[in-house]
Structures are given as structure tokens and as C-alpha cells.
Amino acid sequence: MQQDALSCRMSGAAAEPGAITLEELDGMAEEPGPDSPCHSPGGRQDGAEQERLLSYWQSVGRGHEVDVPSDMAQPIQQLTRNNQQQERESIPFTLIHRKEKFGEVLYEKRQYGKAKWACIKMQEQQYEQSICLGFMKIMKYICEQNSSGLYLGMTIPIVTIVHTNESHAEITRSVTVAYYLPELLQDHPPQPYDPDIIIEEWPPTVVYTRSFRGVTNEDSIMREINLLAELLESPELCLQNIFIVAGYTNPAAANRHNEIWFLQRP
């Protein structure tokens, strides 16, 4: 049910330059001016734009020890052109309870309905490499590499399922990046061309969720897990080693919006 937040920098440190994100692409989607090298007729303009965007993603990817292949050029361009904030579909939920203190929301209890998700499991050497490579595969699926041949549209948040080790002291290398299928596609989801992407139907789920601002990396995720566990009256009612990180805003922003989700036991 994760990551507007979608990015090869989802788990990067705050001081790192640049980002590969869906939200970052808002600014890059602006039309080039007449003096821009991308301002040329027809296919020449498209080709120049693709080259410019691909070069940007590749330069940022190198900083995260991730290669962005040349076949990402068209999906990057398409996502850039279609990534308008007003067109993003939010995942529906019912608010059950909100815990507040002195006007601050400590956490919310929500009910999410049964829904279909496009999921990919990753297990790279580093957490952010898994997020980056998984997202690029999901991005291709969104951008026409599916049985419908259509651009599917963005939904928020993009979520990452993370697991902790037996001692609950750190996050394991295995993560799942998941994209909620838009409402119009829930009954008949387009099938991915990539065999690594699986369409899963998630059952109705009650989650306890707390917002936090800033970067999403191993340290910040573990900090937020521990904080929410302290705030809940009965944390034992939730799964103890599976959590969700949801991203809503540009992970390159200084004050980005994320959530940590605890899943209530069935």
C-alpha cells in the first residue's frame, strides 16, 4: 500500500545530491524554452529530452552504486510527462481512530480494503539499491510494459515492505516494493511483461500509522518503528517483524512526508 515516494534515493542520506523520484520529475516535466537543446521539432526534441533525463538519472544512480540502463529512457520520459500531482490517485482507507496529544497526531488506526498490488521482491547488498532497482522495474510496468500497452497512472503512496531480524535490531536485506493498481484496473489488472513483478491481492488490513518527515534509510526506519511501538497501547496486537514504509512526497525534498505502518494481526 507505499512509495509517492518513489525513488532511487528513498533510503539515501540527507546530504546526498539529487534524486531519482517520481515527485522530482514534476519540475523536470516543464517544457524546454526556445534556447534549450531539447527545443527541436518532432522526434529530435523527444530524443534530446530522453537523453537529458536518462543522463540525469544515470548520474544520480552512480552515487548510489546503481546502474540505470539505457532502456529506461522511454519510461523515464513518459513518467516525467505524466507525473502531475492532481492526477495521482490516493489509496482509499477508512479512519478508525486518531490518537492525539496537545494537538499533535501521534498515530492513526486505519482500515484498508482488499486490493491488488504489483509487487517485486528485491535483495541487493544495500537497502537503497533494492529500492532503486525494484522501483525501476515497477516504473517500466506503469509505463506501458504491460499487457494493456497503456500508461497505468500513478497512485500514492508507493510502499516498501521491510522485515526486521530476530532481535528486531535492524532491517534485513529482503524488501518488497509495491504499487497499488488504480481503482479502474483493480478488477482486471494488466499483466506485467517482467516475470519478477507479481500481481498480488492483499486482504483487508488494519494498520497503525505514524507520519514522519525526512529521509527514509535503515536508521530512520528503525527509529520510527521503535517510536511507534512505544506510543501504541498494545503493540503486541501487531505483527512484530514486518512493517511498511509509505512515501507520499518527493524523497529529495528536505521535509518529505513518509509514514511507518504497523500491521494488525489477522
For the stretch 173-197, pLDDT in tens is 899 999 999 999 999 999 999 999 9
Task: Looking at the structure, tell me whether residues 92 and 57 fall in a common domain.
Answer: no
Task: Looking at the structure, tell me whether residues 155 and 78 fall in a common domain.
Answer: no
Q: CB of 117 within 8 A of CB of 202?
A: yes
Task: Looking at the structure, tell me whether residues 123 and 144 fall in a common domain.
Answer: yes
Predicted model pTM: 0.77
Task: Looking at the structure, tell me whether residues 115 and 226 fall in a common domain.
Answer: yes
Whether residue 18 lies inside any domain: the answer is no
**Is the pLDDT at 238 greater than 90, yes or no?**
yes
DSSP string, 40-69: -SHHHHHHHHHHHHHHHHHHHHHTTT----
Model confidence at 117, pLDDT cuts 50, 70, 90, reads very high
**Is the pLDDT at 229 greater than 80, yes or no?**
yes
**What CATH number corresponds to the domain at position 157?**
3.20.80.10
* Cell numbers at 187, concatenated: 478488477
Whether residue 104 lies inside any domain: the answer is yes
Q: Which of 52, 67, 82 is the last residue of a domain?
A: 82
Whether residue 188 lies inside any domain: the answer is yes
pLDDT of residue 165: 87
For the stretch 54-112, pLDDT in tens is 787 777 677 667 777 777 777 777 777 766 665 789 999 999 999 999 999 999 999 99
Task: Looking at the structure, tell me whether residues 193 and 212 fall in a common domain.
Answer: yes
Q: Considering only 177-181, 213-217, 218-222, which range has the smallest mean pLDDT?
A: 213-217
**Is the pLDDT at 246 greater than 90, yes or no?**
yes
Mean pLDDT of 243-264: 80
Q: What percent of the chain has pLDDT over 70?
A: 76
Closest CA to 120 of 266, 2, 217, 11: 2
Task: Looking at the structure, tell me whether residues 34 and 160 fall in a common domain.
Answer: no
Name the residue range of residue 189's domain: 85-264
pLDDT of residue 109: 98
Helix and strand tally (H, E) in the chain?
5, 11
Closest CA to 156 of 68, 19, 251: 251
Task: Give residue for cell 505514524.
Answer: 210
For the stretch 118-135, pLDDT in tens is 999 998 877 777 877 888
Q: What is the DSSP letter of 8?
A: T
Task: Looking at the structure, tell me whether residues 66 and 141 fall in a common domain.
Answer: no
Task: Looking at the structure, tell me whether residues 59 and 94 fall in a common domain.
Answer: no
Task: Looking at the structure, tell me whether residues 64 and 127 fall in a common domain.
Answer: no
Query: Burial, 218: exposed, middle or buried (Cβ in 10 Å; 0-12, 13-18, 19+)?
Result: middle
Whether residue 60 lies inside any domain: the answer is yes
Comparing 16 with 67, which gets the higher pLDDT?
Answer: 67
Number of domains making up the chain: 2
pLDDT of residue 186: 97
Mean pLDDT of 151-163: 91
Whether residue 14 lies inside any domain: the answer is no
Task: Looking at the structure, tell me whether residues 245 and 114 fall in a common domain.
Answer: yes
Task: Looking at the structure, tell me whether residues 90 and 151 fall in a common domain.
Answer: yes
Model confidence at 35, pLDDT cuts 50, 70, 90, reads very low
**Is the pLDDT at 262 greater than 70, yes or no?**
yes
